[in-house]
């Protein structure tokens, strides 16, 4: 097969469909497949794979590995036959990631190109398009702010955005936080009068200039007071400034300040003085690191557990203006040169142009091809280098140092997260002498006002983290008055009986119990209360034939109350296990209080509506659901009350009149 000529926007060469058709035709027509050499030792190959491997061309191109029709890996090769065949030969040099990928491959496609450069470009496009699971993928850890200038606008603005888009605009940054970027914006607007509004400017319909024009911060293009060419000159100076070229700006400001002072226009000179100070303040926040006044990107990569991390630092006009960290998931066992190759190809594009020099911590194997690709993209020579001494080596070491510091912080954060979740659960398992790790913990609390409107809450923590979707509320139905013991027994019985019924149904259907609303039973139950509440809850649980570990947490001294145990447990106040169960207890209490307040609000509205002509139980419920609170109902007009379902206008007027007559003073109503 000859190499396919590929259009830039079309990732599929026209002859690959013919190759697939040939595969299908050969498989149908021939019972005997082509001879496969013994030394290749293919394993777990279906007939389709065997045929395709045996008929791979000696040509450059890209290959797309598939599993059940889904693209799971995209690669490139100078020689597809040699490269793709290597995957299916047993080899100790294969990483665990490659072995896992090969075990899933049940098909693959190829795309032929004319040379290595085209293969690079096609691979990059396909990775960005399909985001295959086993490829090194570029993902941001967080979204740093950028400044955006869209030169396609007639009078461009400078705006703050949170991510770069492929929209043809120019982006500057990233900056270390929104505060820094707003300071830079303030300086830009102080030094360069440009518009900040988002009005559509039409020369045939001039507007009246706003206050920004009056204070000298906008040249009022909306009013037609500045030619488009002059405004664009200002915008280009703004872009130079954002690229770190401060010297021309400072020279110009100092010249104007001197001229204003010579003319004894001291107020104008003071304005230029303030602008000079603002520029210098921004300069001081950016570390001067080079005397060469050049533009460079420093890129360092290091493995971190199963992932690889990349530090990117931006040097413009000899000043470090920002940095950004990226995590490439699952790339920890890849060669760092390959990691940098994929990072560079995915990061730089028409919207994110590389500077002339890229300083790397390790050199990719395809250095010349990457340089050629970036040069064609940028339309000026781009160089990759791994400095070994001097100023440039210090920059790479600085990037590596920042990367190590970030990894150290991430490890500490992960360790802290582990201690608060899994570590706390392991400690709780040991303290309570549980047979298994309590993955699912449920906490219960009762809330009422002197026995009225008694409610209960159920909160759930799975693997040490709140599972908000599993939270439940209960109205106490069988208990009169303030009886926390009977109330908690009712709630435990209702929750677990629901769970047993649903569990039986899901098991009969062959479904996972964890997928149901109640069928995932708790590994541990926490009762907000003392021995009486725990005993009542345990009795209700055992009546259903269950034996789930249970305990209470008494507020007085934060003691753990165990059923059938006379002595309580006291944990160290710094214990992660104690902090975990305190979070469960406090969340159950908060959730119960919120539900109780909502019911009190509804009851208040209901009592307010008693005696209103035309308002029965059904309309009262409709008004309750519509307005939620007494305050909202009182603030509503008759027309707004009539918007409640099933409430006619006359009844709405009666409700409005009743509520507002009830608020009026006695003498007003009597008169």
- Final residue in a domain of this structure, among 417, 450, 469: 417
- Final residue in a domain of this structure, among 564, 597, 630: 597
Asked, for residue 188, whether it belongs to a domain, the answer is no
Asked, for residue 43, whether it belongs to a domain, the answer is yes
Asked, for residue 538, whether it belongs to a domain, the answer is yes
Residues 332 and 389 in one domain: yes
Instruction: Please give the Cα distance from 2 to 8 (Å, whole number).
Output: 18
Nearest to 294 by CA among 344, 243, 252, 340: 243
Task: Mean pLDDT check: name the lowest of 173-177, 315-319, 560-564, 624-628.
Answer: 173-177
Nearest to 329 by CA among 144, 143, 164, 140: 140
Q: What percent of the chain has pLDDT over 70?
A: 81
Q: What is the CA radius of gyration of the chain?
A: 35
The torsion angle over the Cα atoms of residues 144, 149, 152 and 154, rounded to 10 degrees, is 140
With 0-12 / 13-18 / 19 or more C-beta atoms within 10 angstroms meaning exposed / middle / buried, residue 664 is exposed
Element (H, E) at 653: helix 649-663
Asked, for residue 318, whether it belongs to a domain, the answer is yes
Residues 640 and 515 in one domain: no
Instruction: Please give the Cα distance from 527 to 496 (Å, whole number).
Output: 14
Q: How many CB atoms lie within 10 A of CB 382?
A: 23
pLDDT in tens, 312-354: 888 876 767 667 888 888 888 888 998 999 898 888 877 677 8
- The answer, yes or no, to whether residue 190 has pLDDT greater than 50, is yes
The per-residue pLDDT for 143 is 54
Residues 413 and 438 in one domain: no
| DSSP string computed for 336-361 | HHHHHHHHHHHH-SSSS---SEEEES
Q: Are 328 and 300 in contact (CB under 8 A)?
A: no
Instruction: Please give the Cα distance from 531 to 563 (Å, whole number).
Output: 7
Residues 388 and 309 in one domain: yes
Asked, for residue 341, whether it belongs to a domain, the answer is yes
The per-residue pLDDT for 353 is 78
- pLDDT grade for 144, boundaries at 50, 70 and 90: low
Strand-pairing partners, residue 327, are: 139, 309
Residues 569 and 633 in one domain: no
Q: How many domains does the chain have?
A: 4
Task: Please compute, for residue 233, the number of CA atoms within 13 A of its CA located in the half-sphere on the CB side.
Answer: 5
Q: Are 598 and 460 in contact (CB under 8 A)?
A: no
Nearest to 114 by CA among 176, 157, 62, 73: 62
- The answer, yes or no, to whether residue 3 has pLDDT greater than 50, is no
Asked, for residue 559, whether it belongs to a domain, the answer is yes
- pLDDT grade for 599, boundaries at 50, 70 and 90: low
Residues 437 and 552 in one domain: yes
Asked, for residue 2, whether it belongs to a domain, the answer is no
Residues 460 and 564 in one domain: yes
∠ CA 53-59-64, rounded to 5°: 55
- The answer, yes or no, to whether residue 105 has pLDDT greater than 60, is yes
Helix, strand counts (H, E) of the chain: 22, 20
Instruction: Please give the Cα distance from 383 to 398 (Å, whole number).
Output: 20
Instruction: Please give the Cα distance from 249 to 240 (Å, whole number).
Output: 9
CA distances from 394 to 387, 401, 477, 485 (A): 9, 10, 73, 70
- Final residue in a domain of this structure, among 135, 160, 180: 135
Residues 640 and 665 in one domain: yes
H, E, C per residue of 389-421: CHHHHHHHHHHHHHHHHHHHHHHHHHHHHHHHC
The per-residue pLDDT for 35 is 33
Contacts of 475 (CB under 8 A, 6+ apart): 454, 455, 599
Provide the H-helix boundaries in 243-312. 247-262, 266-284
Provide the pairing of β-strand 296-304 with 357-360. Answer: parallel
Residue 550 belongs to domain with CATH number: 3.30.420.340
- The answer, yes or no, to whether residue 501 has pLDDT greater than 90, is yes
- The answer, yes or no, to whether residue 292 has pLDDT greater than 70, is no
| DSSP string computed for 28-51 | HH-SSPPP--GGG---S--HHHHH
Nearest to 181 by CA among 285, 252, 289, 313: 285
Residues 459 and 585 in one domain: yes
- pLDDT grade for 670, boundaries at 50, 70 and 90: very low
Task: Mean pLDDT check: name the lowest of 112-126, 220-234, 327-341, 511-525.
Answer: 112-126
Higher pLDDT, 420 or 11: 420
Nearest to 534 by CA among 512, 514, 563, 577: 563
Residues 403 and 438 in one domain: no
Its domain, for residue 58, covers 16-135
Contacts of 131 (CB under 8 A, 6+ apart): 137
Residues 571 and 436 in one domain: yes
Residue 349 belongs to domain with CATH number: 3.30.420
Task: Mean pLDDT check: name the lowest of 216-230, 287-301, 304-318.
Answer: 287-301
Asked, for residue 183, whether it belongs to a domain, the answer is no
User: How much is the average pLDDT of 225-232?
Assistant: 88
Element (H, E) at 310: strand 307-316
Instruction: Please give the Cα distance from 214 to 205 (Å, whole number).
Output: 20
Residue 119 belongs to domain with CATH number: 3.40.1440.10
Residues 434 and 506 in one domain: yes
Residue 647 belongs to domain with CATH number: 1.10.150.20
């Amino acid at each position: 097969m000859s190499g396919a000529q590929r259009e830039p926007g079309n990732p599929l060469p026209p002859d690959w469909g013919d190759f697939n058709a040939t595969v299908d035709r050969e498989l149908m027509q021939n019972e005997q497949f082509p001879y496969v050499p013994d030394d290749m030792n293919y394993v777990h190959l279906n007939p389709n794979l065997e045929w395709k491997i045996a008929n791979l061309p000696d040509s450059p191109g890209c290959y797309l590995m598939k599993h059940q029709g889904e693209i799971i890996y995209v690669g490139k090769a100078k020689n597809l036959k040699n490269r793709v065949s290597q995957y299916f030969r047993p080899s100790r040099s294969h990483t665990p990631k490659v072995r896992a990928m090969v075990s899933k491959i049940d098909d693959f496609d190829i795309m032929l190109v004319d040379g290595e450069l085209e293969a690079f470009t096609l691979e990059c496009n396909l990775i960005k398009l399909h985001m295959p699971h086993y490829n090194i993928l570029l993902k941001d850890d967080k979204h740093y702010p950028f400044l955006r200038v869209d030169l396609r606008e007639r009078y461009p603005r400078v705006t703050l955005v949170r991510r770069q888009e492929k929209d043809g605009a120019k982006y500057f940054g990233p900056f270390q936080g929104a505060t820094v970027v707003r300071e830079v914006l303030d300086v830009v607007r102080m030094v360069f009068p440009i518009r900040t509004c988002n009005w559509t400017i039409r020369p045939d319909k001039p507007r009246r200039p706003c206050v920004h024009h009056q204070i000298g911060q906008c040249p009022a293009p909306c009013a037609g007071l500045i030619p488009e060419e002059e405004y664009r000159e200002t915008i280009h100076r703004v872009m130079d400034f954002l690229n770190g070229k401060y010297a021309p700006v400072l020279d110009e400001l100092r010249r104007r300040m001197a001229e204003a002072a010579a003319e004894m226009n001291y107020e104008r000179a003071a304005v230029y003085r303030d602008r000079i100070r603002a520029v210098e303040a921004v300069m001081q926040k950016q570390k001067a690191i080079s005397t060469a006044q050049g533009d460079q990107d420093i890129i360092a990569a290091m493995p971190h557990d199963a992932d690889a991390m990349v530090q990117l630092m931006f040097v413009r006009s000899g000043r470090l203006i920002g940095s950004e960290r990226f995590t490439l998931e699952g790339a920890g066992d890849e060669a760092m040169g390959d990691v940098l190759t994929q990072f560079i190809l995915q990061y730089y594009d028409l919207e994110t142009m590389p500077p002339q020099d890229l300083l790397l911590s390790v050199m990719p194997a395809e250095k010349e091809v990457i340089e050629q690709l970036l040069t064609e993209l940028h339309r000026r020579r781009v160089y990759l280098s791994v400095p070994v001494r001097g100023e440039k080596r210090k920059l790479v070491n600085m990037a590596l140092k920042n990367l190590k510091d970030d990894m150290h912080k991430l490890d500490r954060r992960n360790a802290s997260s582990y201690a608060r979740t899994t570590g706390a659960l392991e400690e709780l398992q040991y303290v309570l002498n549980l047979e298994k790790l309590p993955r699912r913990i449920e906490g219960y609390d009762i809330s009422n006002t002197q026995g009225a409107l008694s409610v209960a809450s159920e909160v759930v923590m799975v693997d040490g983290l709140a599972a908000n979707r599993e939270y439940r509320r209960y109205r106490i139905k069988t208990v009169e008055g303030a009886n926390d013991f009977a109330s908690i027994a009712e709630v435990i019985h209702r929750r677990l009986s629901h769970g047993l019924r649903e569990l039986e149904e899901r098991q009969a259907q062959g479904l996972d119990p964890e997928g149901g609303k109640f069928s995932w039973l708790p590994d541990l139950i926490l009762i907000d209360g003392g021995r009486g509440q725990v005993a009542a809850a345990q009795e209700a649980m055992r009546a259903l034939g269950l034996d789930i570990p249970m305990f209470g947490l008494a507020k007085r001294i934060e003691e753990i109350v165990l059923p059938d145990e006379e002595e309580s447990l006291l944990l160290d106040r710094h214990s992660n296990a104690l902090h975990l169960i305190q979070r469960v207890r406090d969340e159950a209490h908060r959730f119960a209080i919120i539900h109780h307040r909502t019911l009190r609000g509804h009851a208040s509205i209901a009592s307010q509506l008693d005696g209103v002509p035309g308002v029965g139980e059904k309309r009262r419920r409709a008004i309750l659901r519509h307005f939620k609170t007494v305050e909202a109902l009182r603030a509503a007009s008759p027309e707004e009350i009539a918007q409640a379902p099933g409430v006619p206008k006359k009844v709405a007027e009666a409700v409005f009149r009743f509520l507002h007559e009830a608020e009026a003073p006695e003498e007003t109503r009597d008169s």
